[in-house]
């Protein structure tokens, strides 16, 4: 790990979130630093995905309490694009389709736009300059190069969409990346590719990763530094890989009822 | 109009970058209002033959006798008495850009017209107020017998060719505004492409209204002879005045056996122009007519490019984009008449409404009895950006033959919150995200444009998208 890279941190303090008046998160505390992989596990409906969406700034999620600091700056009043400019990224469980905007063009526009916002002195890359960059990232994720000219996510299979999300994460160079059930709906080969892609970006860019899942199996390919269990809108237990192993053996129940 | 709507309108108008006007001296300006004397004066001023004066006067009577259309957009606010029907900006049409009067040249320089000609056109024309002030064609094409001139010049220079085709596709009796145009027409392009000649680069004409309360009534006549081809592009802008202007053109096209014609419009009138245009083409055996019609500007546009498929093997394709911002109504569409067996057509119309804008697709597909083996595909898609925006679809189908293949689909969509959130999470602002969705929506049509125009279209969409989305 490059010790000269400044350390980035996402600090979540007592975060409370409601959707349409219904309380979903009841006080979440969590800190994610660059150079760390965190995994949040938990049963359906525990609020895992809500945490991601609220952190990225989805307008339907109402923050009713707590604070979220990105490198010390409160981000809760910022729109999603401003959070992205700071360095937050969300890999979606169900990425949206945009007709008529090619994957390659989208990546170039988004990447140039982010670079411009993060450092105005950086010159935008032309399609010719950007093409090899995308091609390499796609090659790493074993996504056929024909996808570069296809409409963003349109007609992509579930696995292709997930791989495309990891390519986006890799090229948009976030500081802290949240990945919402990035492993769901993947066969074993695709899971391996996705996990390796996360690991590679993590190592090369020294980012912080917050990965949401309710399956153990991604842990066969990815070693987290922290494992958290979420239930009923709170993180009820945190630990390391040992906690994940305990979960695998004994299930959620012992923790939830505890 | 509520204050809110007015503010929005003012805001929309302020984003229109062609809204400047230049101080020009006209050579002749007819008094406001329309009567027989004005019609006679225009004809006399142009030193036209008697048959044209008779044609105009007859058309004027038809115009008076026809009631205002009660369908489409709101036409009741047009004040026919408050319009200058003829404004002559300079003495004659020039072939050399340097000879165009300086004040007019400045206007077109600002619009990038001469630059475009140098870069990617086979020829270009420019109309200022009522007259073409400039027309030029590459010498190599002139030598091949191609004619590209102001239509008034063509009446003098090619009287037989002119008279053989003029008003044969759109007769004055067709509709009230075709009659008005026929009575007071002035300016427009005349194109003749001889047998077997293919013009590779587009020909372009640029139409500019500069005065307040101006009526522009150009007429364009394009004759594509057998096995020949041409791509004609028109663009248009006007300054933003507080009172309305009227643009009412007639476009007639004849595509003979095996010929091809593409007619591309990027309509970007300021938001105080009524744009009421009749465009129609006739395609003969194995001929292809392709309308690519983009409507971004104007207060109200009523325009339905039409193709009459007259002989077997004829093909028609109509692509249309309409963007209705606050205070605008785009009532646009397409008409296809299958008047021969074994003819093919397709229509793809995409409309976007923003703010209080309203877009209407109005189309006609007609297949006459006995016209077997006709094929047609009609698709219209609407995208609405705001809760208050409006979109309507009136796709009329009159199919009187069973042995045909007709497909029709229509979609209406709204920009979704989840789609916006997804794009914004990648760092795009709300406006950038919405613009990206809109540009993606019209991409299948924009990609049919020559590159320079595709870039221009995307830029115009970006300008139209300025201001809050929500």
Q: Are strands B288-295 and B306-309 parallel, antiparallel or unpaired?
A: unpaired
Alpha carbon distance A82, A79 (integer Å):
5
Domain spans in chain A, listed from the N-terminal domain onward: 9-257
Q: Which residue among B254, B273, B303 closes a domain? A: B303
Alpha carbon distance A15, A18 (integer Å):
10
Q: Is the pLDDT of residue A5 over 60?
A: no
Instruction: Name the band, by pLDDT with cuts 50, 70 and 90, for residue B470.
Output: very low
Q: Is the pLDDT of residue B268 over 70?
A: yes
Average pLDDT over residues A144-156: 96
Instruction: Name the band, by pLDDT with cuts 50, 70 and 90, for residue B23.
Output: confident
| pLDDT at position B115 | 87
Q: Is the dihedral of CA B55, B56, B59, B61 positive or negative?
A: negative
Please tell me the least confidently modeled range out of A60-74, A142-156, B26-40, B42-56: B26-40
pLDDT digits (tens, 9 = 90+) for B188-210: 999 999 999 999 999 999 999 98
Chain A residue whose CA is closest to B437: A98
| pLDDT at position B31 | 87
Alpha carbon distance B165, B158 (integer Å):
11
Average pLDDT over residues A226-231: 95
pLDDT digits (tens, 9 = 90+) for B402-417: 999 999 999 999 998 9
Q: Which residue among B278, B303, B328 closes a domain? A: B303
pLDDT digits (tens, 9 = 90+) for B269-298: 999 999 999 999 999 999 999 999 999 999
Instruction: Name the band, by pLDDT with cuts 50, 70 and 90, for residue B2.
Output: very low
Q: How large is the ipTM? A: 0.96
Put simply, the answer to whether A100 touches B424 (Cβ < 8 Å) is: no
Q: Is residue B410 included in any domain, yes or no? A: no
Q: What is the largest CA-CA distance in chain B?
A: 69
Q: Is the pLDDT of residue A19 over 50?
A: yes
Q: Are residues B297 and B425 in the same domain?
A: no
Instruction: Note the pTM of the prediction, 2 decimals.
Output: 0.90
Chain B: nearest CA to A248, how far in angstroms?
33
How many CB atoms are closer than 10 A to CB A99? 15
∠ at Cα B466 (B465, B468), nearest 5°? Answer: 95
Alpha carbon distance B361, A66 (integer Å):
50
pLDDT digits (tens, 9 = 90+) for B340-386: 999 999 999 999 999 999 999 999 999 999 999 999 999 999 999 98
Identify which of A211, A235, A251, A156 has the alpha carbon closest to the alpha carbon of residue A37.
A211
Disruptive mutation site among A20, A55, A79, A80 for chain B (greatest number of B CBs within 10 Å): A80
φ/ψ of residue B279, rounded to 5: -125, 125
* Structure tokens, B413: 């969509």
* Structure tokens, B295: 């409507």
Partners of residue B441 in chain A, C-beta under 8 Å: 99-100
Q: Is the pLDDT of residue B16 over 60?
A: yes
Residue B380 and residue B393 in contact, taking contact as beta carbons nearer than 8 Å = yes
| pLDDT at position B14 | 55
Q: What is the DSSP secondary structure assignment for residue B299, as one 8-state letter?
A: S
Q: Is residue B355 included in any domain, yes or no? A: no
| pLDDT at position A10 | 98
Instruction: Name the band, by pLDDT with cuts 50, 70 and 90, for residue B1.
Output: very low
Residue B124 and residue B148 in contact, taking contact as beta carbons nearer than 8 Å = no
pLDDT digits (tens, 9 = 90+) for A161-182: 999 999 999 999 999 999 999 9
Q: Are residues B291 and B148 in the same domain?
A: yes
| pLDDT at position A140 | 95
Q: Are residues B108 and B234 in the same domain?
A: yes
Q: Is the pLDDT of residue A256 over 80?
A: no
Query: How many domains does chain B fold into?
Result: 2
| pLDDT at position A247 | 85
Domain span including residue B174: 3-303
Residues 6+ away with beta carbon under 8 Å from B126 = B100, B108, B113, B132, B133, B134, B135, B205, B206, B208
- Which of left, alpha, beta for A66 (phi over 0: left; psi -120 to 50: alpha)? left
pLDDT digits (tens, 9 = 90+) for B292-317: 999 999 999 999 999 999 999 999 99
Q: Is the pLDDT of residue B17 over 70?
A: yes
pLDDT digits (tens, 9 = 90+) for B214-236: 999 999 999 999 999 999 999 99
Instruction: Say if residue B416 is exposed, middle or buried (CB neighbours under 10 Å; 0-12, 13-18, 19+).
Output: exposed
Helix (H) or strand (E) holding B52: helix B50-65
Is the Cβ of A106 closer than 8 Å to some Cβ of chain B?
A: yes
User: What residues in chain B have their Cβ under 8 A from chain A's Cβ atoms?
Assistant: 416-419, 421-430, 432-433, 436-437, 439-444
In this structure, chain B runs to a length of 470
Alpha carbon distance B391, B372 (integer Å):
34
Q: Tell me the DSSP string of B250-282.
A: EEEEEE-TT-EEEEEEEE---TTEEEEEEEEEE
Alpha carbon distance B171, B164 (integer Å):
13
Instruction: Say if residue B364 is exposed, middle or buried (CB neighbours under 10 Å; 0-12, 13-18, 19+).
Output: middle
Q: Is residue B335 included in any domain, yes or no? A: no
Average pLDDT over residues B420-447: 96
| pLDDT at position A39 | 96
Alpha carbon distance B56, B38 (integer Å):
11
Q: Which residue among B303, B331, B362 closes a domain? A: B303
Greater confidence (B6 vs B126) lies with B126
Q: What is the mean pLDDT of chain A?
A: 93
| pLDDT at position A216 | 83
Partners of residue B440 in chain A, C-beta under 8 Å: 98-101, 151
Size of interface A-B (CB pairs under 8 A): 77
| pLDDT at position B99 | 87
Of residues A89, A96, A110, nearest to B428 (C-beta): A110
Q: Is the pLDDT of residue B30 over 80?
A: yes
Q: Are residues B284 and B429 in the same domain?
A: no
Residues 6+ away with beta carbon under 8 Å from A46 = A230, A231, A232, A233
Disruptive mutation site among B427, B431, B458, B468 for chain A (greatest number of A CBs within 10 Å): B427
Put simply, the answer to whether A172 touches B426 (Cβ < 8 Å) is: yes
Greater confidence (B262 vs B11) lies with B262
% residues pLDDT > 90 (chain B): 79
Partners of residue A98 in chain B, C-beta under 8 Å: 419, 422-423, 436-437, 440
Chain A residue whose CA is closest to B436: A101
pLDDT digits (tens, 9 = 90+) for B435-467: 999 999 999 999 999 998 999 899 899 888 886
Put simply, the answer to whether A114 touches B440 (Cβ < 8 Å) is: no
Helix (H) or strand (E) holding B297: none
Partners of residue A109 in chain B, C-beta under 8 Å: 428, 436
Instruction: Name the band, by pLDDT with cuts 50, 70 and 90, for residue A1.
Output: very low
Which residues face A62 on adjacent strands?
A18
Three-state DSSP at B308 gives strand
161-190 of A, contacting B, C-beta below 8 A: 168, 172
Q: 3-state secondary structure string, chain A?
A: CCCCCCCCEEEEEEEEEEECCEEEEEEEEEEEECCCEEEEECCCCCCHHHHHHHHHCCCCEEEEEEEEEECCEECCCCCHHHHHHHCEEEECCCCCCEEEEEHHHHHHHHHHHHHHHHCCCCCCCCHHHHHHHHHHHHHHCCCCHHHHHCEECCCCCHHHHHHHHHHHHHHHCCCEEEEECCCCCCCHHHHHHHHHHHHHHHHHHCCEEEEEECCCHHHHCCCCCEEEEEECCEEEEEECHHHHHHHHHHCCHHHHHC
The dotted CATH code for A9-257 is 3.40.50.300
């Amino acid at each position: 790990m490059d010790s000269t890279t400044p350390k980035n941190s996402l600090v979540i303090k007592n975060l409370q979130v409601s959707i349409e008046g219904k309380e979903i998160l009841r006080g979440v505390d969590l800190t994610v630093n660059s150079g760390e992989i965190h995994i949040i596990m938990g049963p359906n409906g525990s609020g895992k995905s809500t945490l991601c969406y609220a952190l990225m700034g989805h307008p339907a999620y109402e923050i009713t309490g707590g604070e979220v600091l990105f490198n010390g700056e409160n981000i809760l009043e910022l729109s999603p694009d401003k959070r992205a400019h700071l360095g937050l990224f969300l890999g979606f469980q169900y990425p949206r389709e945009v007709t008529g905007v090619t994957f390659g063009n989208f990546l170039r526009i988004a990447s140039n736009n982010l670079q411009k916002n993060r450092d105005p002195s950086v010159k935008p890359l032309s399609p010719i300059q950007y093409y090899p960059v995308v091609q390499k990232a796609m090659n790493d994720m074993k996504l056929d190069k024909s996808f570069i000219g296809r409409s963003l996510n349109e007609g992509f299979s579930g696995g292709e969409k997930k791989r495309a999300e990891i390519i986006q994460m890799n090229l948009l160079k976030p500081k802290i990346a949240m990945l919402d059930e990035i492993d769901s709906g993947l066969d074993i080969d695709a899971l391996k590719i996705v996990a390796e892609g996360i690991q590679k970006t993590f190592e090369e860019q020294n980012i912080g990763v917050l990965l949401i899942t309710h399956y153990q199996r991604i842990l066969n390919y990815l070693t987290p530094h922290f494992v958290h269990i979420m239930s009923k809108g709170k993180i009820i237990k945190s630990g390391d890989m040992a906690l994940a192993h305990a979960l695998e053996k004994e299930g959620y129940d012992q923790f939830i009822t505890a | 109009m509520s204050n809110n709507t007015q503010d929005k309108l003012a805001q929309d108008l302020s984003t229109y970058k062609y809204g400047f006007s230049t101080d020009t001296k006209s050579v002749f300006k007819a008094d406001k209002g329309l009567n027989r004397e004005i019609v006679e004066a225009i004809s006399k001023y142009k030193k036209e033959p008697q048959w044209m004066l008779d044609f105009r006067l007859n058309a004027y009577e038809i115009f008076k006798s026809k009631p205002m259309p009660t369908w489409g957009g709101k036409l009741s606010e047009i004040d026919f008495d408050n319009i200058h029907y003829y404004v002559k900006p300079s003495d004659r049409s020039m072939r050399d850009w340097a000879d165009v009067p300086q004040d007019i040249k400045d206007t077109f320089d600002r619009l990038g017209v001469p630059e475009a000609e140098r870069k990617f056109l086979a020829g270009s024309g420019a109309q200022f107020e009522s007259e073409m002030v400039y027309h030029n064609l590459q010498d190599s094409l002139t030598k091949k017998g191609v004619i590209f001139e102001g239509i008034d010049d063509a009446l003098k220079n090619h009287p037989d060719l002119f008279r053989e085709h003029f008003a044969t596709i759109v007769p004055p009796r067709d509709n009230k505004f075709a009659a008005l145009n026929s009575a007071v027409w002035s300016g427009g392009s005349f194109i003749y492409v001889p047998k077997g000649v293919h013009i590779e680069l587009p020909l372009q004409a640029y139409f500019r209204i500069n005065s307040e309360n101006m009526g522009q009534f150009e007429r364009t006549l394009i004759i594509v002879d057998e096995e020949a081809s041409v791509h004609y592009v028109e663009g248009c802008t006007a300054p933003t005045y507080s009172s309305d202007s009227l643009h009412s053109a007639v476009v007639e096209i004849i595509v003979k056996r095996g010929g091809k014609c593409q007619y591309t419009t990027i309509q970007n009138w300021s938001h105080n122009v009524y744009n009421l245009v009749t465009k129609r083409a006739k395609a003969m055996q194995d001929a292809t007519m392709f309308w690519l019609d983009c409507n971004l500007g104007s207060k109200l546009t009523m325009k339905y490019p039409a193709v009459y498929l007259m002989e077997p093997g004829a093909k028609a394709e109509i692509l249309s984009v309409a963007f209705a911002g606050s205070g605008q109504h785009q009532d646009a569409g397409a008409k296809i008449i299958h008047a021969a067996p074994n003819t093919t057509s397709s229509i793809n119309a995409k409309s976007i409404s923003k703010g209080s804008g309203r877009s209407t697709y109005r189309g006609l597909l007609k297949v006459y009895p006995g016209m077997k083996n006709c094929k047609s595909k009609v698709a219209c898609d609407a995208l609405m950006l705001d809760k208050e925006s409006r979109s309507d679809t009136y796709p009329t189908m009159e199919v009187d033959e069973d042995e045909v293949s007709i497909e029709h689909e229509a979609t209406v969509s709204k920009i979704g919150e989840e789609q916006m959130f997804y794009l914004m999470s990648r760092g795009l602002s709300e406006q950038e995200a919405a613009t990206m969705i809109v540009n993606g929506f019209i991409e299948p049509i924009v990609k049919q444009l020559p590159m320079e125009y595709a870039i221009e279209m995307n830029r115009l969409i970006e300008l139209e998208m300025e201001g809050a989305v929500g």
